Amino acid sequence: MALKTCLRALVAACACSHNAIAQPEYPVVHQLSGWASLSHTVRLAGHTSGQFISPQLGIQPPFISSQPVPGWSGLLLNQDGTFTAMPDNGYGSKGNSADYVLGFYRVEVNFKTEGDGSRQAGTVSNLSFTSFNDRHKMLSNGRGIDFPITADFQNYRSGDGVGRDSGIAVHHNIRNQRLLTGYDFDVESIAQASDGSYWVGEEFGPFLLHFDQQGTLLNEPVPHPQLISPNHPMALAMPDTANHGSSRGFESIAFDNEQRMLYVVPEAAPQVDTIRPVPGDERVVSIYQFDTASQTYTDVIHHYRKDGPQKSNHVVIGDMVNVGNKRFVLIERDSKFGANAKIKRLYLVDFSAKDKTGVLKKKLLVDLLNINDPNNIGGYNRAKQQRFAMPFDSIECLTLINPHTLAVAIDTNFPSEDGRTAGVPDDTEIITLFFPTPLGEISL
């Protein structure tokens, strides 16, 4: 079935099934309306990858003349009904991902929309891959943020910090085309501007990166005025300057309803208490406003309070999407999976609605471990519980399908996690959630 037809069928099926929606234990009525997955065995043909990771869950690296799809960290709906799906830096750290080429896929999703008595999801197909690159040599032009990337070395770097010479030659395509790899950036979020270009949030700076539709870096990386991660070039040279946690950068970016301002959210609050939005409270994170026209951060900052304890808070923000006007939906998640997963939640906020402390009010939309599934799409109903769960660590993608429907997808952290089936690496799963009330009209 063609994608545009599939999405129309999905919306129609949801619209016809209002009466089938069970009332959840929390106030927002919803239901699972689609489910699909991309097998963890799928590979992108090319150079050899995974040369700096260890075997896990039966997976034996390296991946000769190919690289896997380790889940998605960013997701966009395209006008033709396909999706733009962006993996992160590859294998989870700077030191083990130098041979993982960054970029995004154009994917076709054939959602399963009705129960058939099985636990078989619909299918996802990779149609094309666009690699991120620095062909204009923005990272070595003597201006702004300059640092050596994988393409500048004869051999891959491995290990933490600036890394060490691995003795393994960098593939000629990476060098010749100045392809960006997981040693260079940790890309985690993506938004498309009205001119078709892409803004990408990453974690090693954290930086905002601006790419054209062919994946070429257009401008200097934009640093944050305060946040400096341990992998920022400045922190690598002067470790004491780091004030933000490793892998706690820009997991979420989203345009406003008018495609004018970009909103940027780090996973967690800074490590240095003096620059936290609320000193002493690790729950509160800032939502920064970024003007893409001037490529500068504005003075507008919103504050959001995560679930979990005030101290030693391990809940992070997974993604954010605009659902109309000043309304956004955010993912909150812990770092656990399978039976240990506890916090996987979607919350609704309105930038004009704040509590007496100035923090955004939020409303629970969906507990992703307790999703209504009256049509048994997931095939997991037991004793007529009519429930479906996403028991994964890194639920990191949100995109709006239409005013009534959200898509949610995961990063699998391949090959290290088995949240769905014990002993088997997770597939990349994507679901759709239907709300009878438009998301922009749900009361806070």
For residue 305, give the CATH number of its domain.
2.120.10
What beta strand segments (E) does 335-436 contain? 344-354, 360-367, 371-372, 387-388, 394-402, 405-411, 428-434
Please report the pLDDT score of residue 2 as a whole number.
42
The tally of domains found in the chain comes to: 1
Q: Which domain covers residue 89, as residue numbers? A: 3-441
User: Cα separations (Å) of 323 from 7, 40, 289, 405, 442?
Assistant: 18, 31, 17, 10, 11
Please report the pLDDT score of residue 25 as a whole number.
54
d(CA 128, CA 256): 28
Please report the pLDDT score of residue 111 as a whole number.
98
Residue 21 CA, distance from chain mean position: 28
d(CA 184, CA 97): 9
Could you read off the pLDDT of 302-329 as tens digits, one per residue? Answer: 999 999 999 999 999 999 999 999 999 9
- The backbone torsions φ and ψ at residue 107, rounded to the nearest 5 degrees and listed phi first, read -125, 150
What is the amino acid identity at position 265?
Answer: V
Please report the pLDDT score of residue 395 as a whole number.
98
Per-residue DSSP letter, 233: H
Please report the pLDDT score of residue 225 as a whole number.
95
- Beta-carbon count within 10 A of 272 CB: 14
- Taking 70 as the pLDDT cut, the residues of the chain under it are 1-27, 382-385
pTM for this predicted structure: 0.93
Please report the pLDDT score of residue 11 as a whole number.
45
Please report the pLDDT score of residue 15 as a whole number.
45
Please report the pLDDT score of residue 384 as a whole number.
59
d(CA 54, CA 16): 48
